[in-house]
Chains A and B, each alone.
Chain A
Amino acid sequence: MRVKIQAEGYNFTIPLPLGIILNGFTIRIVKSCLKYTDINLADVSISEEQLHILIRELKRAKKVFPNLPLVDIKTGNKQRVLITL
Chain B
Amino acid sequence: MANSLGSRIAEYRKAKGITQDQLAEHMGVSTQAVSKWENDLSCPDITLLPRLSDYFGITIDKLLRGDSSNAVQVVSESERRDFNKMLLKIFVNSANGDIVKVNLPLSLVKVGLEIGMQLPEISGNDALKNIDFGAILLAAERGVIGKLVEVKSAAGDVVEIVIE
Contact = CB atoms under 8 A, between A and B. Distances in A.
Given A50-B115, A76-B96, A71 B107 contact: no
B107 A45 contact: no
A68 B105 contact: yes
Interface string B56-94: 000000000000000000000000000011010000000
A73 B108 contact: no
A70 B117 contact: no
B83 to A, nearest CB: 11
B134 interface: no
Interface in A28-85: 45-46, 50, 53-54, 57-58, 60-61, 64-65, 68-77
Contacts of A77: 97
B98 A75 contact: yes
Contacts of B96: 76
User: Size band of the A side of the interface?
Assistant: 20 to 34
Given A45-B116, A64-B84, A73 B99 contact: yes
A72 B108 CA distance: 18
A71 B101 contact: yes
* Listed residue (B102, B105, B117) with the most chain A CB atoms within 10 angstroms of its CB: B105
10 contacts: A46-B116, A46-B117, A54-B115, A58-B108, A69-B103, A71-B100, A72-B100, A73-B99, A74-B54, A76-B97
Interface of B: 54, 84-85, 87, 96-105, 107-108, 111-112, 115-117, 123
